C-alpha cells in the first residue's frame, strides 16, 4: 500500500503540464496534420525567392559559373569569349534569362517571380491554355514545360503560382507582426487591469489627473501630429517605419512623464489626497468602445487617410485587435492574483511590476496563446479583405487578396479566383484548427 502511495506521489511530482498538453494536442489528428501543413507554409514563405524566380539558381554561361537567383539585381558580369576577348555585359535586372543558351543550368521550380510580366501570355491565360514563348533564336513558339505557367496568368501576364508563393510571405508577416503588436498591448493592459482592478492602485489626486491629461496629449503628439512622418517612413522602408514608431511611443511616454513630474509641484492639501485609480474600468470601457465599432470599417477609414503601405496595414490591424487578448489576460489575472505565490511575492516586498511580469504573467499566458492563434487567422483574413477591396495595400504588391480582386473584372478567369481562395481557406483553417486543439489541450480544468 505504501509503495502504491509513493508511486502516486512520484507521478504527481514528476507531472509536467507542458508535456501533458503536448500529448493531448498530438492526439488531435486534424490539429497535428494542420501543424505540419503550417510548417510547410512557413518553409514556402521563407524560401519563396528560390522556389519562384525567373532567374536560374545556377548556370554556366559561356564558361562562366553564375548564381543569378542569389545575386543582387544590380549585379553585372562581363562575358568573355574563348579567346579571352570581351563580348558583352550580363546585367541581371534586364536580362531575359530564358533566351540565353546555357552549358548547364538549374531553374527554380516556378521559373517566374511575382513581379515578372510575361508579355506573350497576357490577358488571363488559363493553366491548360495555349501558352507562347520566345526562344533563343527570337522565334515565338509553343512554351516548353519548364517555362509553363502551371496555374495560369493574370491580366498583365504575372504567373499565378509565383504570386501565391510570394503572397504566403505577406500573409504570414501580416499575421505575426499585427498580432505581435496586439499581444504586447493586450497583455500589458489586461495584466494591469486584472492585477490592480479598480481599488488596488492608489495615487495622489493631482498626479492621477495629470497622468490622464498626459495620455491624451501624448497620443495627440505621438500619433496625431506625426501621422505623415509615420506614413512616409513606412513607405520608404520597414526599418525607418519602426524607428518612427518607436519615436512616437517615446513621445507618448515622455509627455506622460513630463506631466507627472509637473504634478509634483502641486502636491498639497486637497490635491495631495490619494484616490483609487480605476485601471480595470478604463481598460474595460476601452475594450467595449473598440468592440462597438465595426473593426473592418475602422481599418478602412484609417487606411484611407494614411499612405498606402502593407506595414501600416499591419500596424492598424494590430492596434485594433488587442481586445480579445486583453480580456483573456484580465480574466486570468483576476484568478491568479489571489493565489499563494503572488501573495508571497507581495509579502516579500517585491514591486508590483516585478510581481506582475515575473511571477504572475508566465502562468496566465496559456489561454492567451489560443487567442493569438485565432487572431493570426483573423488578421490574414482582414488583410485579404482589404487587398480584395484595393484598400491599404499598394497596387503593385501581389497578395492573395489582390489576386482575388482581379477575378472580379473577369469571372471567366476561374483560376484567378479559385487558387488564391484555396490558399486563404487552407491557411485560415490551419490556424483555427491549431487554435481549437490548443484550447482543448490547455484547458485549466485538465490541469487540475
- What structural domains and CATH numbers belong to the chain? 18-53+159-201+279-448 (1.10.3720.10), 56-107 (no CATH), 202-276 (no CATH)
Residue pLDDT, tens place only, 192-229: 998 888 888 888 999 989 999 999 999 888 887 887 78
Give me the pLDDT at residue 160, please: 92
Q: CA-to-CA distance for 376 and 58, rounded, in angstroms?
A: 37
pLDDT band at 14 (very low <50, low <70, confident <90, very high): low
Give me the pLDDT at residue 429, please: 92
Do 283 and 330 touch, CB atoms closer than 8 A?
A: yes
Average the pLDDT over 260-269 and give the result.
Answer: 88
Q: CA-to-CA distance for 138 and 398, rounded, in angstroms?
A: 30
Q: Which residue has better confidence, 221 or 230?
A: 221
Give me the pLDDT at residue 13, please: 52
The interaxial angle of helices 29-46 and 160-196, nearest 10 deg, is: 120
Contacts of 96 (CB under 8 A, 6+ apart): 134
Residue pLDDT, tens place only, 323-369: 989 998 998 888 888 888 888 887 887 888 888 888 888 878 877 88
Contacts of 350 (CB under 8 A, 6+ apart): 359
* Strand order through the sheet with 58-61: 64-66, 58-61, 104-106
Q: CA-to-CA distance for 140 and 357, rounded, in angstroms?
A: 66
pLDDT band at 448 (very low <50, low <70, confident <90, very high): very low
Do 178 and 318 touch, CB atoms closer than 8 A?
A: yes
Do 104 and 122 touch, CB atoms closer than 8 A?
A: no
Give the distance, in angstroms, between the CA of residue 135 and the centroid of all CA atoms in the same chain. 41
Average the pLDDT over 377-400 and give the result.
Answer: 82
Model confidence at 138: pLDDT above 80: no
Q: Which three cell numbers stand for residue 78?
A: 562581363
Distances (CA, A) of 439 to 21, 169, 325: 10, 27, 14
Give me the pLDDT at residue 447, please: 46
SS3 of the chain: the string is CHHHHHHHHHHHHCCCHHHHHHHHHHHCHHHHHHHHHHHHHHHHHHCHHHHECCCCCEEEECCEEECHHHCCCCCEEEEECCCCCEEEEEECCCCCHHHCCCCEEECCCECCCCCCCCCCCCCCCCCCCCCEEECCCCCEEECCHHHCCCCCECCCCCEHHHHHHHHHHHHHHHHHHHHHHHHHHHHHHHHHHHHHCCCCCEEEHHHHHHHHHHHHHHHHHHHHCCHHHHHHHHHHCHHHHHHHHHHHHHHHHHHHHHHHHHHHHHCCHHHHCEEECCHHHHHHHHHHHHHHCCHHHHHHHHHHHCCCCHHHHHHHHHHCCCHHHHHHHHHHHHHHCCCHHHHHHHHCCCCHHHHHHHHHHHHCCHHHHHHHHHHHHHHHHHHHHHHHHCCCCCCCCCCHHHHHHHHHHCCCCHHHHHHHHHHHHHHHHHHHHHHHHHHHHCCHHHHC
Give me the pLDDT at residue 5, please: 54
Q: What is the CA radius of gyration of the chain?
A: 28
Residue pLDDT, tens place only, 150-190: 998 988 889 999 999 999 998 888 888 889 889 999 999 99
Residue pLDDT, tens place only, 389-426: 777 677 778 888 888 888 887 888 889 989 999 999 99
Q: CA-to-CA distance for 157 and 122, rounded, in angstroms?
A: 4
Do 260 and 218 touch, CB atoms closer than 8 A?
A: no
Residue pLDDT, tens place only, 52-96: 998 899 988 888 888 888 888 778 888 777 777 777 788 888 888
Give the chain's mean pLDDT.
84
Amino acid at each position: 500500500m505504501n509503495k502504491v502511495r509513493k508511486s502516486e506521489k512520484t507521478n504527481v511530482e514528476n507531472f509536467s503540464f507542458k508535456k501533458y498538453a503536448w500529448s493531448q494536442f498530438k492526439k488531435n489528428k486534424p490539429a497535428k496534420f494542420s501543424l505540419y501543413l503550417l510548417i510547410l507554409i512557413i518553409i514556402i514563405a521563407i524560401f519563396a525567392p528560390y522556389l519562384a524566380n525567373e532567374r536560374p539558381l545556377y548556370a554556366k554561361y559561356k564558361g562562366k559559373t553564375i548564381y543569378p537567383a542569389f545575386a543582387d539585381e544590380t549585379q553585372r558580369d562581363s562575358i568573355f569569349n574563348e579567346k579571352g576577348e570581351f563580348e558583352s555585359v550580363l546585367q541581371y535586372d534586364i536580362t531575359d534569362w530564358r533566351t540565353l543558351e546555357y552549358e548547364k543550368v538549374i531553374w527554380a521550380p516556378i521559373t517566374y517571380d511575382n513581379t515578372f510580366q510575361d508579355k506573350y501570355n497576357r490577358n488571363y491565360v488559363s493553366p491548360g491554355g495555349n501558352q507562347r514563348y520566345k526562344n533563343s533564336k527570337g522565334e515565338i513558339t509553343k512554351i516548353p514545360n519548364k517555362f509553363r505557367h502551371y496555374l495560369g496568368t493574370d491580366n498583365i501576364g504575372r504567373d499565378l503560382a509565383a504570386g501565391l508563393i510570394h503572397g504566403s510571405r505577406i500573409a504570414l508577416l501580416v499575421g505575426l507582426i499585427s498580432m505581435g503588436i496586439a499581444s504586447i498591448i493586450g497583455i500589458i493592459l489586461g495584466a494591469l487591469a486584472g492585477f490592480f482592478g479598480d481599488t488596488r492602485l492608489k495615487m495622489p489626486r493631482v498626479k492621477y489627473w495629470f497622468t490622464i491629461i498626459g495620455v491624451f496629449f501624448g497620443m495627440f503628439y505621438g500619433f496625431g501630429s506625426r501621422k505623415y512622418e509615420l506614413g512616409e517612413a513606412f513607405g520608404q522602408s520597414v526599418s525607418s517605419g519602426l524607428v518612427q514608431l518607436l519615436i512616437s511611443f517615446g513621445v507618448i511616454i515622455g509627455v506622460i512623464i513630463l506631466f507627472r513630474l509637473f504634478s509634483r509641484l502641486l502636491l498639497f492639501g486637497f490635491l495631495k489626497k490619494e484616490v483609487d485609480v480605476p485601471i480595470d474600468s478604463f481598460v474595460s470601457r476601452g475594450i467595449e468602445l473598440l468592440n462597438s465599432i465595426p473593426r473592418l470599417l475602422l481599418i478602412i477609414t484609417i487606411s484611407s487617410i494614411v499612405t498606402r503601405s502593407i506595414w501600416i496595414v499591419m500596424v492598424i490591424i494590430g492596434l485594433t485587435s488587442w481586445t480579445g487578448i486583453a480580456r483573456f489576460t484580465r480574466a486570468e489575472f483576476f484568478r491568479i492574483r489571489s493565489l499563494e505565490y503572488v501573495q508571497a511575492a507581495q509579502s516579500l516586498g517585491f514591486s508590483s511590476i516585478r510581481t506582475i511580469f515575473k511571477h504572475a504573467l508566465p502562468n496566465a499566458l496559456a489561454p492567451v496563446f489560443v487567442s493569438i492563434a485565432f487572431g493570426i487567422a483573423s488578421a490574414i483574413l482582414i488583410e485579404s479583405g482589404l487587398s480584395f477591396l484595393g484598400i491599404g495595400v499598394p497596387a503593385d504588391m501581389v497578395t492573395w487578396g489582390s489576386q482575388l480582386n482581379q477575378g472580379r473584372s473577369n469571372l471567366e478567369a476561374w483560376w484567378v479566383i479559385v487558387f488564391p481562395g484555396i490558399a486563404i481557406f487552407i491557411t485560415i483553417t490551419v490556424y483555427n484548427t491549431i487554435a481549437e486543439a490548443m484550447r482543448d489541450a490547455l484547458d485549466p480544468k485538465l490541469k487540475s
